[in-house]
Structures are given as structure tokens and as C-alpha cells.
A and B are shown apart, each in its own frame.
Chain A
Amino acid sequence: MIDTALHATTGGESRAMAWFAERAKWRWPEFALWIAAFALAFVFPSRSALFNEVAILALFALSLDIVLGYAGIVSLGHGAFFGLGAYVAGLLAKAGGGAGLYSDPTFGLLVAAAVCGFVGYLTSFLVLRGADLTRLMVTLGVALIFAELANRMAWLTGGADGLQGVLPGKILGLVEFNFMHPEYAYLYSLSVLFILFIVARKVINSPFGVSLRAIKGNALRAGAIGINVNRRLNGAYTMGAAYAGVAGALLAQTTAFVSLDVLEFHRSADVMLIVIFGGVGTLYGAIVGAAAFKLLYDLLAAATPQYWQFWLGLILVLLVLFVRGGIMGLVSGLYARMTGKGETP
């Protein structure tokens, strides 16, 4: 609702500037979420291995949300970049042998991001050639090719035995990964997620980000106002691929192991579920979706070891059918009610 007093006393221009500023503003639940996420490392250090998995999954989901939720590209093969990133970081850490630049975890992340971004950029042209169904098939096909390549190139990847001897060095030359202290790994992954989240948030709120939402909203009109639709989508896909690569690299570094499992189809499917579960095109949906997915998975797997997939599927179906916009749809409705504001468009 427009504040009528403000409306009367200030010009349209300042009202407009204020509207844009308001929209991108950080809200208290965001701060709360991040503080809670970091606090977990100190409150429940022993559960940090699980939290670390969630943080990595969240980053992977964030990367798909950029591709699916903002660029509107339905990808069933996003795991290709996750797996590629994992192998790049794993091979680097192996080459470094635990010291020096190659084993430097941050360097590993940068290289994984660069390699996956580059491969993402190249494949984006293939993906964008077709319409929705073709795109889906291309993403799936690329992922299958990657999985098969990793399998065949056993001399490099270790094949079915997995990549042995992954030795990441000290983080920023200071702290060493330590299996006695899984919270180090969690804090490392969470910090990377946090930084990349801030970057994504900034990009999404930029003119580029607005144009992505426009393309997803109405590609015909987007073209008619002069937007080079495909070029913007190339950019978004590249960014999503780089992010997925970093997520894969985090897994390789924090577990000191890479196996063919990183390129398996279920990863692409899980991450798709997580994004839909959390709320497509919301950024935060990726994080709460990953946490909820992991939590549900653990609860259901413990309670009904044989039927957990059934229950997970049922919950997903109910959520998609009855709650528009996934968990974030619920949350933003609640937030709107609490603050007495209408949903911000």
C-alpha cells in the first residue's frame, strides 16, 4: 500500500528511488537465518558434518535456482557442473599434495568456478538452441556424457574406485581441515555459501537480474524492448554453472574424496526437488529447501528406512499442489502478515 502522506509531500522521483531501495533492502529474517547458520557450528559442533552437507547442497541448489528460477531454463543435468567442479578441485588438491598453491582450497574453488563457468558458457549455446523440451534433453545429455567420460577416464579420475589422495591444504594458509573438528569444514563451506549468496543477491537485484526476471516473465516483450534474450541467458547459465562447480569443489575438499557418485543423475534430480521444495526464484528457497530436504531425508530414513522415498515424494506432491511457491511461499506470506504489509512484488 502506498503511504498517502508520503505520496502527498514528496515528488514521484523520490518515491520511486525509495521504492527501488526498499525492494533490495535486507530484512531481519535474513540476518536471523545467517546468524543462526553460523551459530550452529558452535552450538552443535558434533553435527557439523551434516551441516556441511546442507551448506554444500544449498549452494548447489542456489546455482540451480539461478538457472531455473531466474533464467527459466529447466535443467535435468545440473549435476554435470557439480561433478566437474568436484573433480577439478580434487585433482588440484591431489596434485598439490597438501601444500602449495594447487592444494590451496580457495585456489581450488576459483579454478573450479572458472572451469565450470567456461564449460557452462560453451554448453549454454547448445542448451539455448531449442525450446523447453529440447533444453531439458540437452542438459540431461550433457550430464550423461560427463558421467561417462569420468567413468572412461579412470587414469585421471580413479574411475569406480574414486579419486584417492585428495589433500587440500590450509584454508587461506591458516586453518587445516581436521576430522576431529568437522565445524571447520562447515564454517568454510558456510562462508563460501554466504559470500556467493551475497554476490547472487546483488546480481539478482541489478539491471541484469531484473532483465532475467523480465525474460522469464515474458520473453516476447523482453525482446521487443531490445533485450538480447539469449545473451542474457548465456550469462545466467554461466553463473549457475560456476556456482555449481564451487559446490562440487567444496564437497571434494571437505570430504577429501571424489567418486563417480558426484556425477550421478540423482544429484541433478535431488537439487531440482530442493529448489521446487524451497521456492523457485527466491534464492533463499535454495537454502531452506536444502535444510528441509536433508532434515526430512534423515527423519524419514530413520523412521521408515524402506519407504522414505514414498513419504518424501508425498510431501513434495502436497507442497507443490497446495502451497504456491514452496516453503518460501509460506514464509513470505507469513512475513507479510506479521509486518502488516502486502507481499512485495
Chain B
Amino acid sequence: MSAVLSTKNLVRRFGGLVATNDVTFSLPAGARHALIGPNGAGKTTFVNLLSGVLPPTSGQVFLDGQDVSDWPVFKRARNGLSRTFQINQLFADFTPLETIGLALSEAHAEGAQFWRRAGTSKTIVDEAVSILEQLDLGDVMEHRVGSLPYGKQRLLEIAIAVAPKPKVLLLDEPAAGVPEGEREQILEIVEALPKEMALVLIEHDMDLVFRFAKTISVLVQGALFVEGPASEVARDPRVRQVYLGESEVEQHLGGAA
């Protein structure tokens, strides 16, 4: 099996707390994978380890079969590993246009050019506009990011991660804090991402999870508790007991089967 992203015995401790406990995980190309688990289970920590934001206490991370455990964040990003943050990490003083323009010039390895004005590469500007329009940010592309409504900022958080056309995209609760009516739009955007892009979605809303995911991992107290096809995970009695409310699982079994 060709895993685009995988880990081997990954451990991360915070003092006495084991936030990631011996996780061996593998993500095939084009995956539609959900990572679920109660609050504090270690989902964000796991994403931080995968993306290089945190160094592991022990264990390894592989990207395209290559050991990237000691690679800095930017190097993993340049090699096709992209992520969103549970708490927005945006450039408040930029516009969405400038933000995506920046992400694209980095992706095209033009980010260090210092002798031409930013915004003179028509390819990049056109691409930026098309991404912004796809993500429903076309109307606000010249507005200051810091003053955009939260929902729009959330969309930009996704746009900035999608722009470089990564091989793997890790989405850490992209719909967190978004009003009910706009959550649907976020899922639609995620579902419309290119088939070949491997996606990992962290999400608490089980409706969205079962609609999106083909495979699911359940993380409990830092360890992989159960993983497999979505329908099996939904049926797993341990998952029912430990994590999901019985009734909620019943509800999804029909749809997922």
C-alpha cells in the first residue's frame, strides 16, 4: 500500500501527560479520512506532530515514504503537506487576495523575489482570484482580513492551505465556531477538493463526519482506539460505548452503510 503520510510509534509527552501515545498511522493518497475523539484526546497535538509544529518525543513521521521527523514546518509544507489550524492563523493586516497571492508565490518558489512588485505575475493573480471565488471569498478579497466576519476568516483559513495544491491536507476542526447555517458550506467546499488530495478531517459533528469520511480513526487519550472504514467504526461496540452516544450512531448506520 502506498501511504502518502504515515507515522511509526509516534509519542508526544507534555510533562507527565502523554498527548500522543504510540500512534502508528497510515494515510493512502486521495484518502477521505476523519479523525475523531473527545476533547483533549490529542487530535490537534497529532496534527502538530504531522505538520512539524511540534517535535515528537519519539517515533517517526513519513511523507511519501521519506522520514521527515526532523524537517521544519516549511519544508514539509513545500513537500505537499498542508494544514489548517483549529484557531485561525491568518495575517490580520493582509487582504484575502494578498494572503492567497503570498501562498501561491511561495508554492511557485517565487516568494524570495525582491525586484518585482508583488501582484505582477498574472498567473498567480488569476489563480488566486479563482481560488478565492471558489471559496466564496471573491466579494471580500480586497478587505482587511482582521475585519472579516468569522465565517469568512474560516474559509480563508482553508483557502490558504488549499492554494498550494498539497498532496495531504489536514483540516483541524474547520467548522469550529462557525454558525450552523455556514457549516454546510464548509463541508461542501471540503468535499469538492480534488480527488487525489488526501484529506484528514477533524470534526465533532457526526453528521458531517459520516457524510465525508470513507475511513475513520478514533483517538482516545492520545492513542488510536479504533480505525477502519466508516461503516465499521460506526458499528464498533467499543466506539459506541466510549465515544459516541448510542442513539447518534444508530442514526448514522443507515446512511453510512
Q: List A residues at the B interface (Cβ < 8 Å).
A: 2, 11-13, 15-17, 19-21, 23-24, 202-203, 205-211, 213-214, 217-218, 220-221, 223-229, 231-232, 235, 345
Contacts and interface: CB of A to CB of B under 8 A. Distances in A.
Nearest to A223: B73
Given A221-B89, A224-B82, A208 B111 contact: yes
B141 A207 contact: no
Contacts of A231: 112
A217 B92 contact: yes
A210 B102 contact: yes
A235 B83 CA distance: 27
B25 to A, nearest CB: 20
B171 interface: no
Interface of B: 51, 53, 72-75, 77-78, 82-83, 85, 89-95, 97-98, 101-103, 105-107, 110-120, 122, 125-126, 128-129, 132-133, 138, 141-145, 160-161, 163-164
A12 B107 contact: no
Given A217-B91, A220-B89, A207 B73 contact: no
B82 A221 contact: no
A23 B119 CA distance: 10
Given A16-B128, A207-B113, A345-B143, 18 more contacts: A15-B141, A17-B125, A19-B119, A20-B119, A21-B117, A24-B117, A202-B115, A206-B116, A207-B114, A211-B112, A217-B93, A218-B90, A220-B85, A221-B89, A224-B85, A225-B77, A345-B94, A345-B98
Given A12-B132, A223-B72, A227-B106, A206 B97 contact: no
Interface residues of chain A: helix, strand, loop or mixed (majority): helix
B102 A214 contact: yes
B59 to A, nearest CB: 21
Given A20-B117, A223-B72, A12 B133 contact: yes
B89 A218 contact: yes
Contacts of A221: 85, 89-91, 160
B90 A228 contact: no
A233 to B, nearest CB: 12
Contacts of B51: 224
A19 B101 CA distance: 12
Contact of A224 (B89, B92, B133, B144): B89
Given A226-B74, A228-B74, A20 B111 contact: no
Contacts of A227: 74, 106, 111
B194 to A, nearest CB: 18
Contacts of B122: 13, 17
Nearest to B78: A226
B77 A206 contact: no
A209 B101 CA distance: 13
A13 B125 contact: yes
Contact of A207 (B53, B112, B163): B112
A228 B72 CA distance: 9
12 contacts: A12-B129, A20-B101, A203-B114, A208-B114, A211-B105, A214-B91, A217-B92, A225-B102, A225-B106, A227-B74, A229-B74, A345-B94
A345 B160 CA distance: 18
Given A203-B114, A221-B89, A211 B106 contact: yes
Given A12-B132, A223-B77, A207 B110 contact: yes
A218 B97 contact: no
A205 B142 CA distance: 16
A205 B117 contact: yes
A185 to B, nearest CB: 30
Contacts of B129: 11-13, 15-16
A1 to B, nearest CB: 9
Given A19-B95, A202-B117, A208-B111, A224 B72 contact: no
B97 A225 contact: no
Contacts of B132: 12
A217 B111 contact: no
B125 to A, nearest CB: 5
Contacts of B111: 207-208, 211, 226-227
Nearest to B80: A226
A211 B40 CA distance: 34
A151 B119 CA distance: 49
Contact of B142 (A2, A218, A220, A225): A2
Nearest to B82: A224
A27 to B, nearest CB: 15
Contacts of A19: 95, 97, 119, 141-142
A281 to B, nearest CB: 10
A12 B113 contact: no
B106 A20 contact: no
Find the residue from A202, A206, A218 having the highest chain B CB count within 10 A.
A206
